[in-house]
Amino acid sequence: MRYSIVALAVLGLLTACGQPQQNNSEKNSQTAVEQTAQSETERLNQWFEEKYEQQLQQSPIQMTFLGRKDRYGDIDDMTVAAEKKQLQWLENSVEELKANFDYDKLNLEAQTSYDVWVYQYEQAKRNAEFRGMDYVFDQMRGAHTFLPQFLINFHRVDDAEDMEAYISRIKGGATAIEQLLQRAKEQVENGVRAPRFAYEQVIKEAKGLTSGAPFDEEGDSSLLEDAKNKLSTLQESDAISAEQADKYEKEVRKALLERFRPSYEAL
């Protein structure tokens, strides 16, 4: 009995001595796992920042919505070729993601971001199969009304350079309409047409955007009126002179007559 008590006492001492070592070992192991997750997560977050910026640079319109002035004189490429290029970029990014990051070493939040990035590609890939089935222009939405509204409501003009970008975007908007019109024609060849009332409304809207000066003498068109207001604000803030304002207005009129009107008449 005495031996048993001694043995139990020794066992108790050993257990008491060994317990902190086990806790420390578990703590060290847990800390190592957390550090690994943090390290992998930090790498992934940095990668996401870089990829998001690359993706954003593909859309000047989206950057303007975010208040940025990168590629401020540009309009998005509306061609099918551009969409295919963007989809290929997404596919390449997913392959890079899977090849360079260990999913199991990421924390939960990073794993969610990982999953969402893959999901957005899978959705884009599926949607591409039906690219030619959606109406390019209809009575509910379309670039023919969106682009002028975008210039009026979102393209800030704080200085002369911004005004030059505005004029460039009038021309770029005309190019976008031409690109989309080509897509609409190809859809018609494949039997995809909007309802008749949609055509009637789009025609009405297109004609409305090409009425008024400089197209005719019935007051100012919406874009010319907007340009004049922006130029007036620049003059009031002494950002440009009266001579510069006159020069820019003439350039706006020229862009509207030579680029904007032909594209809308074609539409």
Per-residue pLDDT tens over the stretch 155-178: 999 999 999 999 999 999 999 999
Peptide bond into 20 cis (omega under 30): no
Asked whether 139 and 105 are in contact (CB, 8 A), the reply is no
Question: Hey, what's the torsion of the CAs at 91, 93, 95, 97, to 10 degrees?
Answer: -150
Q: Write the CA distances from 156 to 14, 59, 65, 210, 231, integer angstroms.
A: 75, 17, 10, 22, 11
Query: What pLDDT shows up at residue 9?
Result: 32
pLDDT greater at residue 68 or residue 18: 68
Is the pLDDT at 187 greater than 50? The verdict is: yes
Give the model's confidence band at 26: pLDDT under 50 very low, under 70 low, under 90 confident, else very high.
low
- pLDDT of 14: 29
The pLDDT assigned to 115 comes to 98
Give the pLDDT score at 8.
Answer: 30
Q: In the predicted model, what is the mean pLDDT of the chain?
A: 89
Q: What are phi and psi of 220, to 5 degrees?
A: -90, 145
Task: Please give the span between the terminal C-alpha atoms of the chain, in angstroms, as a whole number.
Answer: 104
Cα distances (Å, whole numbers) of residue 130 to 17, 127, 219: 69, 6, 43
Residue 32 scores a pLDDT above 60: no
Mind listing the pLDDT tens digit for each residue in 104-161? 999 999 999 999 999 999 999 999 999 999 899 998 888 999 999 999 999 999 999 9
Half-sphere exposure of 13 (CA within 13 A, CB side): 5
Contact 162, 72 (CB under 8 A): yes
What is the per-residue pLDDT across 88-98, written as a single tens digit (0 to 9) for each?
A: 999 999 999 99
Q: What is the pLDDT of residue 5?
A: 29
Residues 6+ apart with CB under 8 A from 123: none
Residues in the chain, total:
267
If pLDDT is split at 50, 70 and 90, which confidence band does 24 have?
Answer: low
Q: Is the pLDDT of residue 18 over 80?
A: no
pLDDT of residue 15 exceeding 50, the answer is no
The SS3 call for residue 212 is coil
| Nearest alpha-carbon partner for 162 in 238, 261, 248 | 248
pLDDT class of 265 with cuts at 50, 70, 90: very high
Among 229, 231, 222, which Cα is nearest to 264's? 222
Q: What pLDDT score was predicted for residue 141?
A: 83
pLDDT above 70 as % of the chain: 86
Q: Where residue 30 falls among pLDDT bands split at 50, 70, 90?
A: low
The reported pLDDT for the residue numbered 135 is 93
Residue that wins the pLDDT comparison between 201 and 139: 201
Which residue in the block uniquely carries the two structure tokens 């009266």?
242
pLDDT at 107: 95
pLDDT at 20: 47
